Structure 1
Amino acid sequence: MFTEPKIDERPDTHYVGIRTMASLQEMGNGLIPRLHTEVYTWLKQQGVPPAGAPFIRYHVINMETKLDIELGVPVAGPIPDDERVRAGVLPAGRYASLIFTGIENGIKGNGMLLDWGAEHGLKWDTFEAEGGDGFVSRYESEITDPADEPDPSKWDTEVAIRIADEPTH
């Protein structure tokens, strides 16, 4: 299942996360829950509660080799980080998004949102990246808590991509 894409305005979202290079196979073989667990453990050790659902931020996408991704968890505001778990911000702005059900629909959901944006003349907030497509802010946020629903084919996930700011003259 896929929802209709929508556009909304979002505030800055502070988070902490672990950035890595990974293939789709590595992502599907436990990397995502392992790194999210590491971030949650780090937050607990710091005494900082999460302020939202975990997400995967896609910095540079290259489906053929490796993706430059970050496994993050929102926090209420800026906090000190370390060499492994880094603080970051999903920047404020206009985002296009949709929700897909079932982790097996992630690639299709992303493709549907990209196609919808092209049909509606949207310009994504991108940057030149070596070896892939660079995005200023593109992420998938988990809506369904796996502790509540163990079946990944029933998980709802939102994919959101920041739309480029219109030039001001």
Structure 2
Amino acid sequence: MDGVDGVDRVPEIVQFGARPYVALRGKVAMDGISAFADRLREVIDWLAAREIAPNDAPFFKYDEVDMESELVMEIGFPVDDVHTGEGEIVTGVIPAGRYVTVTHHGHPDGLRDATHDLLVWADEQGLEWDADGDRWVARLEVYRSDPREVPDLNDWDTDLQFKLKD
């Protein structure tokens, strides 16, 4: 995978601690992800109104992945403490554990291929995901590039972080 299709390096297995978060949750068709992503501002405004600061980059969390139908996903930010959501804003904790992670450099349109490559690589390594069919415990895209600082989407860095079964 090294250097192929926007992937900068070979995937690694990384241990992460538990990460509280605040997010917007929704059911989204594959062609509706961009429109749903545009609603990240709602999370930013909710956090700002409560004087809660994100402690890392925004993420997309894919809870159910059915490529033929719709996705259940959350878009949000990790925060320092567990909070209580309201309305469409949800809170939770991304669980601690071992994650396969790799960085995709390039336009977000390339994430589908990068995800495919990561899944194939993990299968070749004999790794087992913390998932039950289409339902994932933690399957994340972490958007490391701030669009105000990196306006060209082709220069974005996005980390894929998929939880392994304990």
- Structure 1 residue 113: Cα displacement: 1.0
Distance 1:43 1:152 in 2: 25
2:11 counterpart (5, 16, 19): 5
Distance 1:103 1:156 in 2: 9
Alignment match, 1:37: 41
Alignment match, 2:156: 155
TM-score normalised to the size of structure 2?
Answer: 0.92
Give identity over the alignment, percent. 30
1:110 counterpart (111, 115, 127): 115
Pairing of 1:40-79 with structure 2 (within 5 A): 40-79=44-83
Q: Which runs of 4+ in 1 moved over 4 A?
A: none
Pairing of 1:87-126 with structure 2 (within 5 A): 87-101=91-105, 102-126=107-131
1:112-169 deviations in Å (ceiling 9; x for gaps):
11111101110000024xxxx111110100011111011112111011110001xxxx
In the alignment, structure 1 residue 24 sits paired with structure 2 residue 30: yes
Alignment match, 1:145: 146
Distance 1:60 1:116 in 2: 21
Distance 1:31 1:85 in 2: 13
- Give the superposed CA RMSD: 1.0
Which amino acid in 2 is paired with 1:4?
A: V
Which amino acid in 2 is paired with 1:103?
A: P
Q: Which runs of 5+ in 2 are unaligned?
A: 1-5
